[in-house]
């Protein structure tokens, strides 16, 4: 019998977890990402995603977690718990769901796996891959609907229903959005009732387990020897050197574990996508070692470009601050529109305005009419 220990958090000790009731992620966990490319500055993969390449990204996730071995690694590394030993993760099978939960459609990112128990019986894993930019406030309600529809399908097909009892469920949400997850983890927090109300006895309940990719810590991810951990490290990489480090770790991982050709191809696509936006004519190599070599070569170039951009930005900020001080000293308190115009000007314009201030009789003589 499975032990009863509902956590709802990534890891038994709560590591890597962002509170589902907190509106902001701790600054230490807010890492920009090089999942697709460093453009003018390093930024998280989803913030640079366009409508053209976003479907490719989502499809890669879906393909990666369509492999039962990868799903098993996800559960071992990011759900954990001694009770997992009671499940035969190597024997899981994907269920072809026949229900439609939302507007007559079930999303491709919603995957259901039947996992046999070593002592008999089955647990159904409902794995939702969430690619929206923000969290779904009513996720617990959505999963409650899925659970009911799945139960109806199992009853209709007489699948794993023993003595009139339904098999247990394990709902897991894998989220990769622009902001941290802020939705309630259970139906309890969605129902408007005082805690002491006797009506709680008759309220539906559903709790899900959350894996918030954007909140995963690099140091902790390095300790986990699995493809999901490598994938999340790549998604959360904050500089080109980290991308190369992940590529090296991936090559070493695959060298010791043959049979993951499909996953290798997906990583090649994702690694190659970090270079493609820089060069419209770029074609992603098919070989992982070739991709890694090209990444290492271009990473140094990107780093230099980034540092140059940073120096240029620093110079602009310094000149703007100096000009604002000079204008305030000459004309007194500055209206907001003047400050905005100065802070938005490039270095050449700031140089010109710095010369004009010598003979100007008004703010307009320097920065122009409002």
Q: In this structure, are 208 and 314 located in the same domain?
A: no
**5 part of a folded domain:** no
Range of the domain at 348: 292-367
pLDDT given for residue 308 in this prediction = 63
Q: In this structure, are 54 and 202 located in the same domain?
A: yes
Q: In this structure, are 213 and 310 located in the same domain?
A: no
Number of structural domains in the chain: 2
pLDDT given for residue 285 in this prediction = 66
Q: In this structure, are 182 and 309 located in the same domain?
A: no
Q: In this structure, are 331 and 185 located in the same domain?
A: no
**279 part of a folded domain:** no
Using the CB atoms, write b or e for 121-148: b if 16+ within 10 Å.
bbbbbbbbbbbeeebbeebbbbbbebbe
pLDDT given for residue 226 in this prediction = 94
**248 part of a folded domain:** no
**166 part of a folded domain:** yes
**232 part of a folded domain:** no
**286 part of a folded domain:** no
Q: For the chain, 370 residues long, give each residue's pLDDT as a single digit of tens.
A: 333 445 554 533 334 433 333 333 333 323 333 322 222 222 333 333 343 455 677 888 889 999 999 999 999 999 988 889 999 999 999 987 766 555 444 455 578 999 999 999 999 999 988 877 788 999 999 999 989 999 998 999 888 888 899 999 999 999 988 778 989 999 999 999 999 999 999 999 999 999 999 889 888 999 999 999 999 998 888 777 788 888 889 999 999 998 999 988 888 888 877 665 555 555 666 777 777 776 666 666 666 665 565 556 667 777 888 888 888 878 888 888 888 888 888 888 888 888 887 778 888 888 888 7
pLDDT given for residue 91 in this prediction = 94
Q: In this structure, are 182 and 328 located in the same domain?
A: no
pLDDT given for residue 8 in this prediction = 57
């Amino acid at each position: 019998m499975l032990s009863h220990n509902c956590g709802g958090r990534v890891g038994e000790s709560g590591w890597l977890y962002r509170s589902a009731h907190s509106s902001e992620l701790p600054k230490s966990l807010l890492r920009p990402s090089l999942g697709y490319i460093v453009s003018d500055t390093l930024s998280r993969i989803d913030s640079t995603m366009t409508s053209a390449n976003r479907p490719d990204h989502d499809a890669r996730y879906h393909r990666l977690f369509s492999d039962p071995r990868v799903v098993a690694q996800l559960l071992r590394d990011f759900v954990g718990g001694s009770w997992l030993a009671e499940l035969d993760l190597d024997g899981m099978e994907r269920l072809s769901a026949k229900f439609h939960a939302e507007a007559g459609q079930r999303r491709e990112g919603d995957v259901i796996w039947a996992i046999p128990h070593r002592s008999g019986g089955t647990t159904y894993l409902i794995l939702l891959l969430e690619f929206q930019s923000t969290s779904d406030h009513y996720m617990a309600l959505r999963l409650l609907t899925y659970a009911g529809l799945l139960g109806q399908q199992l009853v209709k097909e007489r699948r794993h229903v023993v003595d009139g009892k339904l098999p247990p469920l394990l709902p897991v949400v894998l989220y990769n959005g622009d902001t941290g997850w802020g939705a309630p983890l259970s139906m309890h927090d969605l129902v408007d009732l005082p805690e002491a109300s006797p009506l709680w006895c008759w309220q539906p309940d559903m709790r899900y387990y959350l894996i918030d990719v954007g909140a995963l810590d690099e140091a902790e991810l390095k300790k986990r020897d699995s493809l999901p951990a490598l994938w999340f490290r790549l998604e959360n990489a904050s500089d080109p050197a980290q991308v190369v480090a992940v590529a090296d770790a991936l090559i070493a991982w695959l060298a010791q574990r043959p049979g993951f050709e499909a996953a290798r191809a997906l990583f090649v696509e994702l690694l190659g996508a970090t270079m493609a936006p820089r060069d419209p004519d770029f074609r992603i190599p098919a070989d992982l070692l070739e991709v890694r070599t090209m990444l290492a070569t271009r990473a140094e170039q990107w780093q230099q470009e980034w540092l140059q951009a940073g120096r240029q930005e620093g110079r602009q900020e310094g000149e703007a601050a100096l000009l604002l001080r000079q204008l305030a000293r000459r004309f007194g308190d500055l209206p907001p529109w003047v400050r905005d115009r100065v802070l938005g000007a490039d270095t050449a314009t700031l140089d010109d305005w710095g010369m004009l201030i010598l003979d100007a009789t008004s703010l307009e003589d320097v920065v122009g009419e409002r």
